Amino acid sequence: MLIDSITLTITLELQGLTESFDRGIEMCGIFGCILKDGIAAPKIHAALKRLEYRGYDSVGEATVKNRRLFVKKDAGKIDEVHSIRNLDDLPGRIGVGHTRWATHGAPLQVNAHPHFDCSDPPRIAVIHNGIIENFAEIKKELEDIGHTFRSKTDTEVIAHLIEQNLKNSELNPETVTSELENAVMDAARRLEGSYAIAVITAHEPDKIICARNESPLVLGVADNAYYFASDIPAFLPLTNKVVFVENGELVTLNDEGFEIRKLVDGSKVVREPELVDWTPAMAEKQGYQHFMLKEIHEQPRCLRDTLRLQDKYLELLTTFLDRAREVIMVACGTSYHACLAASYMFSKLSFLATHPVIASEFTEQHGKSVNIDSTILAVSQSGETADTLAAVETARQRAATILGLTNIVGSTLTRVSRVYIGQQSGPEIGVAATKTFTSQLSVLSQLAIRLAKKRGKVSQEEIDLLDEKIEKIPGIVKTIVETQERKMKALARKYKDKQCFFFLGRGISYATALEGRLKLMEIAYVPSVAFPAGESKHGPISLIERGFPVIFICPPDETRKTLMGNIMEMKARGASIIAVCEEGDEEIMKLADDYVEITKGIPEVLSPIPYAVPLQLFAYYMAIERECDPDMPRNLAKSVTVK
């Protein structure tokens, strides 16, 4: 292995520093390639850039040539590390790369991937996304027989396990496949927890071996190369032929192609590549300053796509919901807000009581009561959120029916759902969910309308109106983006130094308020509070003093009259009122210090879709004003694959 001398010195220095940290909990991006010819390192570097949304506190690459490993890794964002280490400058046509996001354990060079076996120079390099739950026990075992560890990460045990298995296989001539495959397979069988791993070695330098359990892994197939990655955008500019690797599978990539085996018994799995219709351009910024802004602007198109969902899937899901004794919706963050809004839709239109539950609370709250009569509707853009999948697993173990709504077909959620539906948003790269939120709402409202039709609970006239209005939503959102962007920019300039905001709404607009508040907090770092407007007088109003900004979501629904009272209460105490209201709503506009106008005639149940859009723009421009990077908010990652 070659590590340049500065890198090596830093590695040694940092080893001392890392002693106090437990381990890195990983939520990362992985990529690797076998090229027929050419140099792998620049391809790995470019792919890691496309995966940076999965994690961005350290980066590393390893390649193999002439039975030697070459490595560069360091803490920092990819561009920072590249400017010092030149990530394109590693020899060989085979290699792997990793971009890391840690929640525990500092983002130090020594904790960056790849991790190695004991040899010096190392002969085995491993990258990993996930958490090895039994790493401490394995580490102790390996240390007891003489293995020496460099880092404090859980990942490093994998490299040592493989090393040990290779040593043992020298004593055992009955190797069925290659020695390395067997060694990785046996190592993977020992691991508990979640992982997508990839291994290259000096022993068998012509192959990459990957394995998966819970963490995402996809293969890319091109004429002159084979790729693997955590996510399709990593190799989308290189190929759109993909193979989804399932849990409990091991993959060997070499010049001839890929071979998939089941970890449990080594049996071969035949799986043909599928074509994905995302173009590389879809995964790039297309001239916008940030992905988030591009994705806000994409909403009209995404919403139109949600209206093209296949009838049979909508019908199937609706039938499951109709028959359900109890419907619990589980999700996190923005997806939870979509569920909360949906609970109003289902109740008002289809008279179906649903319980939106924050996924990380599900097991505590419903773990004992969920049963064969329960229906779980899990909503997750990524389909890989660990908390959501854990809730689904609890429900599955108790024989509940699992329904899924996700943006990533092929994700774990689609595989564990009895029926799932894709939300058609295309890749969302900005860490903050925007287009995926409005698309989720569109799909959920279509389900609620369908169920209303099935149950005959609302008049035909109302159904016809909803059908007509939902078709208009993409156009309305387009108008809002086109007409209100400048205004939101100006409001961000005006309010940029405020220390805290309230976001208030009643009824379904409470969900919109929660979403507006989450966007502002997560990307512009402004501590904010959202609650149903009726709650003000039960406590929060005591915070109000002159100039305190309060954002009211005021569609002209049944709650408007009482909401007016809440606005006046706030105004009387000196709050600055920012109202998101219907076009021409003079009464509210007169009360407000600032207002944003939304197209007339939107039915209440659809209102969160257009009313959320100015709040997304406000958060985006607040982040810009406050010099925060909206695409990569600190401490966050796009896909939260740890609990």
Closest by CA position to 267, among listed 249, 255, 253: 249
Decide if residue 640 touches ligand F6R (CB under 6 A).
yes
Angle between helices 311-323 and 435-455 (to 10 degrees): 60
Instruction: Return the residue of 382, 425, 438, 641 that touches ligand F6R, per CB under 6 A.
Output: 382
Which window, 18-26, 210-218, 275-283, 376-384, contacts ligand F6R (CB under 6 A)?
376-384
Q: Which is nearer to ligand F6R, 215 or 239 (CB)?
A: 215
Report in angstroms how near the CB of residue 518 gets to ligand F6R at its nearest. 6
- DSSP-derived letter for residue 231 is S
The answer to whether 381 contacts ligand F6R (rule: CB under 6 A) is yes
3-state secondary structure of 328: strand
| 214 part of the interface to ligand F6R, by CB under 6 A | no
Among 432, 452, 488, 563, binds ligand F6R (CB under 6 A): 432
Structure tokens at 567: 């606005």
Q: For residue 637, state whether it binds ligand F6R (rule: CB under 6 A).
A: no
- In whole angstroms, the minimum distance from the beta carbon of 408 to ligand F6R comes to 8
Question: Taking the complex as a whole, how short is the minimal distance between the CB of residue 332 and ligand F6R, in angstroms?
Answer: 4
Catalytic residue among 28, 302, 339, 581: 28
Place of tokens 């629904």: 557
Q: How far is residue 86's CA from residue 90's CA, in Å, rounded to a whole number?
A: 9
Given the residues 73, 139, 348, 638, select the one marked as catalytic.
638
- Residue 139 designated active-site: no
Given the complex with ligand F6R, which of 220 and 333 has the nearer CB atom?
333
Comparing C-alpha atoms, which of 105, 103, 35, 107 is closest to residue 78?
A: 107
Tell which one of 230, 252, 335, 442 touches ligand F6R (CB under 6 A): 335
From 229-237, 374-382, 445-453, 532-540, give the range in contact with ligand F6R by CB under 6 A: 374-382
- Tell which one of 154, 522, 585, 631 touches ligand F6R (CB under 6 A): 522
3-state helix, strand, coil in the chain (%, to 5): 45, 20, 35
Q: Does 528 bind ligand F6R (CB under 6 A)?
A: no
Q: In the structure, how many helices (H) and strands (E) does the chain have?
A: 19, 25
Report, in Å, the least distance between residue 461 CB and ligand F6R: 35
- Residue 417 lies near ligand F6R (rule: CB under 6 A): no
Shortest Cβ distance from residue 104 to ligand F6R (Å)? 18
* Residue 338 C-beta: closest distance to ligand F6R, Å: 8
**Tokens of residue 258, six digits:** 């890929």
Shortest Cβ distance from residue 151 to ligand F6R (Å)? 27
Cβ(68)–Cβ(90) under 8 Å? no
Question: How far is residue 425's CA from residue 437's CA, in Å, rounded to a whole number?
Answer: 9
**Does position 296 bind ligand F6R by CB under 6 A?**
no
Phi-psi region of 488 (alpha: psi -120 to 50; beta: other; left: phi over 0): alpha
423 binds ligand F6R (CB under 6 A): no
Angle between helix axes 156-171 and 179-190 (nearest 10 degrees) is 130
Q: Which of 292, 300, 217, 166 is nearest to 599 (CA)?
A: 300
Window of 36-44, 74-82, 379-387, 551-559 that interacts with ligand F6R by CB under 6 A: 379-387
Q: In the set 155, 252, 375, 385, which binds ligand F6R (CB under 6 A)? A: 385
Shortest distance (Å) from residue 297 CB to ligand F6R: 17
Q: Which residue is nearest to ligand F6R (CB)?
A: 333
Question: SS3 for 580?
Answer: strand
Establish if 433 lies at the interface with ligand F6R (CB under 6 A). yes
Question: Which CB contacts under 8 angstroms, 24+ apart, belong to 450-456?
Answer: 450/314, 450/315, 450/318, 451/318, 451/321, 451/322, 451/346, 451/349, 451/350, 451/352, 452/349, 452/350, 454/318, 454/319, 454/322, 454/350, 455/322, 455/350, 455/351, 455/352
Per-residue binder mask for ligand F6R (CB under 6 A), 313-332, x = binder: -------------------x
In the block, tokens 């020594």 appear at 110
- 293 counts as binding ligand F6R under rule CB under 6 A: no
β-pairing verdict for 124-132 and 257-262: unpaired
Least CB distance to ligand F6R at residue 358 (A): 10
Q: Describe the crossing of helices 386-397 and 359-366 by its angle, rounded to 10 degrees.
A: 30
Q: Which residues pair with 405 in a beta bridge?
A: 379, 421
Considering only 239, 343, 354, 380, the residue that binds ligand F6R (CB under 6 A) is 380
- From 243-251, 333-341, 459-467, 481-489, span contacting ligand F6R (CB under 6 A): 333-341
**Could you count the other beta carbons within 10 Å of the beta carbon of residue 588?**
22
Our answer to whether residue 638 is catalytic in this structure is: yes
> What mask of x and - would describe binding to ligand F6R in positions 13 to 52, judged by CB under 6 A?
----------------------------------------
CB 22 within 8 A of CB 152: yes
Give catalytic residue positions. Answer: 28, 638
Binding site for ligand F6R (CB under 6 A): 332-335, 380-382, 385, 388, 432-433, 518, 522, 639-640
